[in-house]
Amino acid sequence: MKRTLGTCYYPEHWPREIWEEDARRMAEIGLTWVRIGEFAWKRIEPTPGTFDWAWLDDAIEVLGNAGLKVVLGTPTATPPRWMIDKHPDMIAVDAEGKPRKFGSRRHYCFSHEGYREECKRIVELVAERYGPNPHVAAWQTDNEYGCHDTVISYSDAARTAFRKWLSETFDGDITALNDAWDNVFWSMEYDSFDQIDLPNLTVTEPNPAHTLAFRRFSSDQVVNFNRAQVDIIRAHTDAPIAHNYMGRETAFDHYDVGEDLEISSWDSYPLGFLEDRAGATPEHQRKYARQGDPDFQAFHHDIYRAVGRAQGNHPQGAGRWWVMEQQPGPVNWAPYNPAPLPGMVRLWTWEAFAHGAEAVCYFRWRQAPFAQEQMHAGMLRPDSVDAPAAHEARMVMEELAATPDVQFQQAPVGLIFDFDAAFYWETQPHGAGLDYFMLVLEHYRALRRAGLSVDIIRPRPSEFEGYKAILAPGLMHMTDEVKQALADCGAEVLIGPRSGARNAHFRMPVPLPPAFPGLDVTVSRVESIRPDLPVALAGGGAVEGYLEEIEGSAETILETEAGAPVAKQAGRVTYMAGWGDAKALDRLVNMLCVRARIATVKMPEGVRCRETGSERFWFNHNTTPAETPVGILPAAGVLCETLD
């Protein structure tokens, strides 16, 4: 499959007169894909039960005739205003009990049965009409599940659905729930499922078992909502179905959604994300203000490739995924919205291909001079003049001509990222700021500083095969099966901190964690520490924010300056008992790579590389040229070595 480019287009935003010209220009640049329709419900169904298909038929025809392939989105992220009249209680409710009203987008609660039926109805109509359309070559369900904190809702509909979900989970046995949650604590025992409320607005924190269940329930509601659309679309077409996920969205289990979809895609906004969610220091934000974080996008690329593996039968390291929306210039929604350094749009595009993307679509074709996103750049300016992104896309198209098809190669290292583990950490972090996503990202950074390509993998035995090293930081819940498979998989394995620290309902197991086969390590005490009070390690590096006291006969390989063990090892398994800083993680990664006979290359600051099988890509995320093993890379430079 060729690597391809695309864009996102809203024919309903523009006069009919310019559609052909737009399509021609897209094709002229060399774009393959054009995504449309995902916010157009009101234009498709202006009033309940009356439909206007003509404009959409026309738009698809115009685009298709220009040689473009359409990705058709279901319009369920933006129900029209009349829908609220039909279902006034369909809107979500925030944690403080406030309604999340009509007037922007994503104004629905995933648990509302009435709205779910409306979605099935409109998706059925759209799929029936366009499933057979030869120009519609792929589908997208809804848009950015979870964006604007929309997974979790405290509505009446959610309460009802949560009670039902719990009753099913516990086979209608309230005593089983009380036991699993240990509700004897603080007299929290329930007499019936109907007494269980949502875990918001409690006097102090609710039972973490309660919170964890609600997070899992909320995730399942997204999965089911999406599946209902997929089932309908699939009945009418063989075209692949995608959803466009977001950055640092851990409120639902993307793997579960991914199991129902052919293609995983995500919306990559490197500059916006650096400002509003990458968790960076102000220094780091200044340094990369116009380039984005050097690892944040790659981390998501690898995560979403893993999500793309969830359905079907892919070789290790493989997975179908796209960038459905690529930042093309300044955006409108971050605290600060600078313009990318010239060359970065090209770099981001190539970086996606280097991580296995099939397609990169720029959001959006033309900057809309109106409404909420009027300050969001496009490939064209509002006056239809080419914006810088158009130029960089043209450059990529020229370069693409000489490159191979999408390809995959299993990386030497597997890094486990588990959404359910994120639920655990968010449920009870124990120390302010302790966050699973950041923990795994920091391990990812360390691997990348060592020049390694990485596969993100799920905590499933079948995923462990063939890696020289597997890192599984922070898996608070681990089944015996997963522990045994890690112990047996033949890879060097790094676990900890908090590995196996809780059971399936957030109980701490006894014997104490990690209780890992073949590893005599016990976490005897746990502490969270002020971030400005690092605990120095003998030999360099430190533990920051979180530290376990461990005991047991396994060999100590890292200890504090005061002599307390921090990492212990037995056979191929290493347990890390704290949150290592960059230096500590570099030491661990290097130790692991030596043991696993994985070759490493120390990357210069801001330089990263990745192998695809036949290529090795080098990227310079700096504003200045960088000296690398393959020569001097200019600012925003991309270099592709051909491997044999």
159 binds, among a second copy, Zn ion, none (CB under 5 to 8 A by kind): none
> How far is residue 14's CA from residue 302's CA, in Å, rounded to a whole number?
36
Strands 136-140 and 69-73: parallel
Find residue 638's DSSP bridge partners. Answer: 619
Q: Is 333 annotated as a binding residue?
A: yes
Establish if 270 lies at the interface with a second copy (CB under 8 A).
Answer: no
Note whether 198 and 192 are within 8 A (CB). Answer: no
Let me know: does 453 contact 613? Beta carbons within 8 Å.
no
By CB under 8 A, tell whether 339 contacts a second copy.
yes
Cβ-based neighbour number of residue 605 at 10 Å: 10
Q: What does 268 interact with, of a second copy, Zn ion, none (CB < 5 to 8 A by kind)?
A: none
d(CA 176, CA 26): 59
Residue 529 within binding range of a second copy, rule CB under 8 A:
yes
Alpha-carbon gap, residue 460 to 485, rounded angstroms: 8
Going by the DSSP 8-state scheme, the letter that residue 571 receives in this structure is: T
Q: Structure tokens of 370?
A: 């109106």
Cβ nearer to Zn ion, comparing 124 with 197: 124
Cis peptide before 634 (omega within 30 of 0): no
- Using rule CB under 8 A, residue 510 touches a second copy: yes
34 is an interface residue for a second copy by CB under 8 A:
no
Applying CB under 8 A, among 33, 181, 365, 619 the residue interacting with a second copy is 181
CB of 120 to a second copy, least distance (A): 18
- Span interacting with a second copy, options 408-416, 427-435, 454-462, 608-616, rule CB under 8 A: 427-435
Give DSSP secondary structure letters for 39-76: T-HHHHSSBTTB---HHHHHHHHHHHHTTPEEEEEP-T
Place of tokens 């020229």: 398
Do 34 and 379 meet the contact criterion of CB atoms below 8 Å apart? no
- Member of 173, 185, 518, 625 binding a second copy (CB under 8 A): 185
Structure tokens at 594: 């030596």
**Within 113-142, which residues bind a second copy (CB under 8 A)?**
none
Using CB under 8 A, which of 6, 270, 308, 330 touches a second copy?
A: 330
What are the distances in angstroms from CA 463 to CA 85, 126, 249, 460?
Answer: 48, 37, 23, 5
Give yes or no for residue 532 binding a second copy (CB under 8 A): yes
Q: Does residue 53 bind a second copy (CB under 8 A)?
A: no
Q: Does 105 bind a second copy (CB under 8 A)?
A: yes
Side chain identity at residue 159, one-letter code: R
Residue closer to a second copy (CB basis): 76 or 237: 76
Interface with a second copy (CB under 8 A), residue from 39, 114, 394, 582: 39
Paired strand residues for 413: 454, 469
Instruction: Consult the annotation and say whether 640 binds a ligand.
Output: no
Q: Is 105 part of any known ligand binding site?
A: yes
b/e sequence 380-413, b meaning 16+ C-beta within 10 Å: bbeeeeebbbbebbbebbebbeebeebbbbbbbb
HSE toward the beta carbon, residue 533, CA cutoff 13 A:
8
Q: Which one from 38, 45, 118, 144 is the annotated catalytic residue? A: 144
**Taking a C-beta distance cutoff of 8 angstroms, is the pair 514, 479 a contact?**
no
Q: Any contact of residue 199 with a second copy (CB under 8 A)? A: yes
**Does the protein bind a second copy through residue 336 (CB under 8 A)?**
yes
109 annotated to bind ligand: yes
Which of Zn ion, a second copy, none is residue 186 near (CB under 5 to 8 Å by kind)? a second copy
CA distance 369 to 358: 31
Torsion of CA 601, 602, 608, 610, to 10 degrees: 20
Peptide bond into 129 cis (omega under 30): no
**Quick one: what does residue 337 bind among Zn ion, a second copy, none, with the CB cut-off 5 to 8 Å set by partner type?**
a second copy
According to the binding rule CB under 8 A, does residue 614 interact with a second copy?
A: no
Name residues whose C-beta falls within 8 Å of residue 167's C-beta, 6 or more positions apart in sequence: 193
Least distance (Å) from a second copy to the CB of residue 335?
A: 4
With 0-12 / 13-18 / 19 or more C-beta atoms within 10 angstroms meaning exposed / middle / buried, residue 102 is middle
Residues numbered 480 to 499 that lie near a second copy (CB under 8 A) are none
Interface segment toward a second copy; rule CB under 8 A; list 64-72, 115-123, 379-387, 455-463: 379-387
The reply to whether 275 sits near a second copy by the rule CB under 8 A is yes
Exactly one of 118, 325, 351, 358 is catalytic; which is it?
325
Torsion angle (degrees, nearest 10) of CA 343, 344, 348, 351: 60
- CB of 6 closer than 8 Å to CB of 396: no
**d(C-alpha 545, C-alpha 369), whole Å:** 46
Sites for Zn ion among residues 121-140 (CB under 5 A): 124, 128
Whose tokens are 């979180």? That residue is 546
CB nearer to a second copy: pick between 2 and 507: 507
507 binds a second copy (CB under 8 A): yes
Q: Does 372 bind a second copy (CB under 8 A)?
A: yes
Q: Which of a second copy, Zn ion, none binds 65 (CB below 5-8 Å, type-dependent)?
A: none
CB of 223 to Zn ion, least distance (A): 21
- What span, in angstroms and rounded, lies between the C-alpha atoms of 231 and 233? 6
CB-CB contact of 397 with 33 (8 Å): no
Q: Does 571 bind a second copy (CB under 8 A)?
A: no
Active site residue 555: no
Q: Does 191 bind a second copy (CB under 8 A)?
A: yes
Instruction: Show contacts with Zn ion in window 190-219 (CB under 5 A).
Output: none
Site string for a second copy, 203-242 (x = CB under 8 A): xxxxxxxx--------------------------------
Q: Which does 121 bind (CB under 5 to 8 A by kind): a second copy, Zn ion, none?
A: none
183 binds a second copy (CB under 8 A): yes
Size of the site for Zn ion (CB under 5 A): 2
Q: How many residues bind a second copy (CB under 8 A)?
A: 108
Rounded to whole angstroms, how far apart are CA atoms 42 and 65?
26
Determine whether 373 is an active site residue: no
Nearer to a second copy, 13 or 595 (CB): 13
Q: Which of 15, 54, 171, 186 binds a second copy (CB under 8 A)?
A: 186
Check residue 511 for interaction with a second copy (CB under 8 A).
Answer: yes
Binding footprint of Zn ion on the chain (CB under 5 A): 124, 128
Can you say which residues are annotated as belonging to the binding site? Answer: 105, 109, 143, 333
Residues that are catalytic: 144, 325
What residue numbers does the annotated binding site for Zn(2+) cover?
A: 109
